Chains A and B, each alone.
Chain A
Amino acid sequence: MVRKVKADPKGVLEGPHFMDGDHALAEGALAAGCRFFAGYPITPSTETAERFAERCPEAGGLFIQMEDEIASITALIGGAWGGQKVMTVTSGPGFSLMMENIGLACMTETPMVIANVQRGGPSTGLPTLTAQQEMMQVRWGSHGDYRVIALVPDSPQECFDLAIEAFNLSETYRTPVFIMTDETVGHMHEKVVIPPASEIEVVERNWYTGPKDQYKPYKFGAENHMPGPMVKVGDGYRFHVTGLVHDERGYPQATVEAGKINITHIIEKIDSNADKIIRFEADQLEGAEVVVVSYGITSRIAIKAVMDARKQGIKTGNFRMITAWPFPEKQIREIASKVKAIVVPEINYGQMVREVERVAGGRCKVISVNSTGGAVHDPSEILAAIKEGRS
């Protein structure tokens, strides 16, 4: 049951602000009701942790700087089952360290929000420069089969808005939700309008309220594979949580059949609700010869190229993914059946373009405008690809 309530005014810093994306993430989290944050400093994400630490006492929350990112993500699992809405933020190297326990969070259906302010990699890479290089890692990085929800903001305002959305999705689907932002958006200052608490809808945790002896921490095979309600430690349910394949009671079951039920649930609760989760912005797709598909900061670069192309008489559509995962398959498939080409600029060497290619299935050209990271594209590179696509 999804239960929406108004935001707790204590966490809402109402008003217009001139704020960067990192700070806006922290404000969004606080507005969404997040009161526990565990993190470890890493450029370019540190400002979010700092902001949260500063705002914590007055909002009645707790910030802890853990000894590393593994500890941070694991503390979130404890924090969530302790009854709080929880968040951490990191960047490339820290994201890699978190992978194993992201799997534990998925497997134990623990709601949490993880923001990755992407910077150039691999390894220490380009710590202060922008990138979008973990778009596949976020989807596939932990071992085993699972699904995630990943949102990509393109501005500080959207960092705020999507932080709330991320918490709402994580409570609705009882799953980790990722905010895949980047150094540019993280450090860019723009106007961020924080609405009054009475205008912010937050999804409450789906608390179990039935008889104690009938509680099961998990529910498999429900309508639309929606997850069951949660309880927190200390309320007398004496429940068990494990990363092993488990039954609805949470008890380990080392069998193929149990695995099938458990894993199908984790996958289907996202897949079969994809239409409800996916968000995007589309513009002038009708009659377009070429459509540019992009996300995050790259969308703001792409739009310049799109407008230049239109000026030159090329019918160019624009499609901005707000949700990267689940991938907007339906929408891209439809575009692919109508256009000559889809152009996919991203600040990596070609990641989401693989999804576009897979879904397009040869129905149109798919042109990757890739980059080794460190800077946004020059719009002329995207424009050249649009022209190539039309020819």
Chain B
Amino acid sequence: MMEVRFSGFGGQGIVRCALITGKAISLYDNKFATMTQSFGPEARGGACSSQLVVSESRVLYPYVTVPGVLVALSQEAYNLYEPELGNGGILIVEQDLVKQKPDTGRVQVFPVPATRFAEELGNRLFANLVVIGFFAAVTKCVTPDAVKKALPELVPGRFLKANIQAFDKGYAYGNEIMAAKSGASVTADAMSEGVE
């Protein structure tokens, strides 16, 4: 089972992130996903968040308790939600929008310049798809195929292609980072061994 929180500010497509990912997982990856979101005044402006509980069997308890993955696309969201991310959890941050605390190694941090990538693709609105792509590569929680199947109906038809491009961009970047990380962590291990 995996608990995921997407967070940021209103207008960044935070709810859409969870909708797309949740739909992809539960309709096309043959797993179960329950998506919840905060409503009302607290959902307008300020930090906004949507949650996914993903499981191999039917999700009983629908809420996130201790998230294993946090996606934080704004400073406020990072400040608010980082402390509740579980130890060893995966933290994905929008690197140009979030200034992080000094890394203590408590969680694994994966920065991504999602907005910049999206702008390069023509519209910052595609940033959330870059994030989903990056998220898919880093967490392996959802397959790229499933996301692409889930997209129609959830993004306007005329932007479908651009959204898929944005996803691919984020996914490719995520894979690069993961490859580098595994290389780096091997090095780190090797180094510590060397020190031994």
**Which A residues fall within an 8 A CB radius of B?**
16-18, 43-44, 127-129, 183-184, 187-191, 297, 300-301, 303-304, 376, 379
Whether B37 lies near A187 (C-beta < 8 A) is: yes
Q: Known contacts A16-B27, A190-B34; is A300 also within 8 Å of B39 by CB?
A: no
Whole-angstrom distance between the Cβ of A251 and the nearest chain B Cβ: 49
In the bound assembly, the distance between CA atoms of A303 and B42 in angstroms comes to 29
Q: In the bound complex, how far is the Cα of B42 from the Cα of A379, in angstroms?
A: 25
Contact B33 A190, beta carbon cutoff 8 Å: yes
* B66 neighbours in A (Cβ, 8 Å): none
Given A184-B36, A187-B36, A191-B32, 6 more pairs with CB closer than 8 A: A18-B19, A18-B150, A127-B40, A184-B62, A188-B62, A297-B62
CA distance A128 to B38 in the complex (A): 8
**Would B39 and A43 count as touching, CB distance under 8 A?**
yes
CB<8 Å pairs between A and B, sample of 20: A16-B27, A17-B27, A18-B26, A18-B27, A43-B39, A127-B40, A128-B39, A128-B41, A183-B39, A187-B39, A188-B35, A188-B62, A189-B19, A189-B22, A189-B35, A189-B36, A190-B35, A300-B61, A303-B60, A304-B60
Q: What are the nearest 10 A-B pairs in CB distance?
A: A128-B40, A18-B23, A189-B35, A191-B26, A128-B39, A304-B61, A303-B60, A16-B27, A190-B34, A300-B60
Q: Which of A127, A128, A188, A301 contacts B36 (CB 8 A)?
A: A188
What's the dominant secondary structure at chain A's contact region?
A: mixed
CB-CB under 8 A from A184, the residues of chain B are 36, 62
Provide the bound-state CA to CA distance between A304 and B55, in Å: 15
Contacts of B110 in A (CB 8 A): none
Q: Report yes or no: A300 in contact with B27, Cβ–Cβ below 8 A.
A: no
- For the side of the interface on B, what is the size category? 20 to 34
Report the minimal beta-carbon distance from A345 to chain B, rounded to whole angstroms.
Answer: 13
Interface membership of B63, Cβ < 8 A: yes
Closest to B15 in A: A189
- CA A16 to CA B22, docked complex, whole Å: 13
**What is the CB-to-nearest-CB distance from B138 to chain A, in angstroms, rounded to a whole number?**
22
Per the bound structure, the CA–CA distance linking A169 and B193 in Å amounts to 71
In the complex formed, the residue of A with least CB distance to B43 is A128
Question: What is the chain A residue whose CB lies nearest that of B20?
Answer: A18
Distance (whole angstroms) from the CB of B17 to the closest CB of chain A: 12
Report which residue of A128, A187, A190 has the largest number of chain B beta carbons within 10 angstroms of its beta carbon: A190
CA distance A183 to B43 in the complex (A): 15
User: Which B residues are CB-close (under 8 A) to A129?
Assistant: 40
A190 and B61 contacting across the interface, CB-CB below 8 Å: no
Whole-angstrom CA separation of A189 from B60 in the bound complex:
13
Minimum Cβ distance to chain B for residue A27 (Å)? 14
> Roughly how many angstroms separate A379 CA and B63 CA in the complex, as a whole number?
11
Q: What is the bound-complex CA distance between A304 and B59, given in angstroms?
A: 11
- Closest chain-A Cβ to B161's Cβ sits at a distance in Å of 22
Taking CB as reference atom, which chain A residue is nearest B40? A128
Interface residues of B in 119-166 (CB under 8 A from A): 150
Chain A residues with CB below 8 A from B40, complex form: 43, 127-129
- Distance in Å from the Cβ of B40 to the closest Cβ of chain A? 3
Contact partners of A17 in chain B: CB under 8 A: 27
Contacts of B26 in A (CB 8 A): 16, 18, 190-191
Report Cα–Cα, A43/B42, bound state, in Å: 14
Chain A residues within an 8 Å CB radius of B32: 190-191
Known contacts A16-B27, A18-B22, A128-B40; A191 and B33 CB within 8 A of each other: yes
Give chain B residues whose Cβ lies under 8 Å from the Cβ of A128: 38-43
Given contacts A18-B22, A189-B34, A191-B27, contact A44 B63 (CB under 8 A): no
In chain B, positions 18-57 with a C-beta closer than 8 Å to chain A are 18-19, 22-23, 26-27, 32-43
Give the docked Cα–Cα distance between A185 and B59 (Å): 13
How far apart are the CA atoms of A16 and B30 in the complex, in Å? 12
A16-B27, A188-B62 known; A44-B39 Cβ under 8 A: yes
Query: Which chain A residues border B61 with CB–CB below 8 Å?
Result: 300-301, 303-304, 379
Chain A residues contacting B62 (CB-CB under 8 Å) are 184, 188, 297, 300
